[in-house]
Copies of this chain bind each other. A is one copy, B any other.
Amino acid sequence: MSPIPVFDVMNAVGLVAFAVVGSLKASDARLDLLGVSVLGFLTALGGGITRDVLVGRIPAALSGSNDVTWAALGVVLAMVLARIIEERHLLDHPALLVSDAVGLAAFAATGALVGVDAGVSAFGVVVLAALTGVGGGTISDVLLDRIPFVLTEDFYATCAVAGGVVFVTATAAGVDPRTAAVACAAVVFGTRVAALRRGWELPRL
């Protein structure tokens, strides 16, 4: 999926982290083992699946991608961890938050590249970058009967949108898409970590 080796590593880290987050949220909401597994897989794979459906591809997650293995690893890891430590403490753990930021960066960058491949507009590229990053968490929150956290208080989707805008601006200025994707990932990760450290929030109307 990703033409740049470092993205393979970031992608794997992100899939595990996203699956852990999804499974822990499901467990915290008292879902059963199937629900915990489904939410783990969906949080990890849902953004990429939605993106692939929008550009008219059979989702990579259904056609033999390794992504499924990493997501499964995350689900199992969450199940083990949840027996040792309380879900809410795990969800706030810095290691998980940073891994999640790595995933957000990789997903946004690969989403932007898929958008370029599919020939969508600049707006479409930003949407696909953001959606690949936050789509899985959004679907999971909807299934958990909550307003998706990305829409309410966290400075999270904004990082993916910023990365998408950087990507679009760079490629419009003649930068190679692969280089632009690295810049995109760096912006997403950097803004996300800064937001976590400094408690950034977007204003309300």
Contacts and interface: CB of A to CB of B under 8 A. Distances in A.
Contacts of A68: 121, 123
Nearest to A120: B62
Nearest to A203: B33
A173 interface: no
Copies of this chain per assembly: 3
A151 B58 contact: no
Contacts of A49: 54
A204 B32 CA distance: 4
B145 A34 contact: no
B124 A63 contact: yes
B30 A204 contact: yes
Interface residues of A, number: 58
Interface stretch (A9-17, A35-43, A95-103, A178-186): A35-43
A79 B123 contact: no
Nearest to A80: B205
Given A124-B62, A145-B145, A33 B119 contact: no
Contacts of A118: 58
A54 B54 contact: no
A176 interface: no
B56 A54 contact: no
Interface in A134-169: 138, 142-148, 150-153, 157-158, 161
B64 A54 contact: no
Contact of A30 (B56, B61, B152): B152
A59 B131 CA distance: 14
Given A49-B54, A83-B205, A202-B33, A143 B151 contact: yes
Interface in A3-53: 26-27, 29-36, 38-39, 49, 53
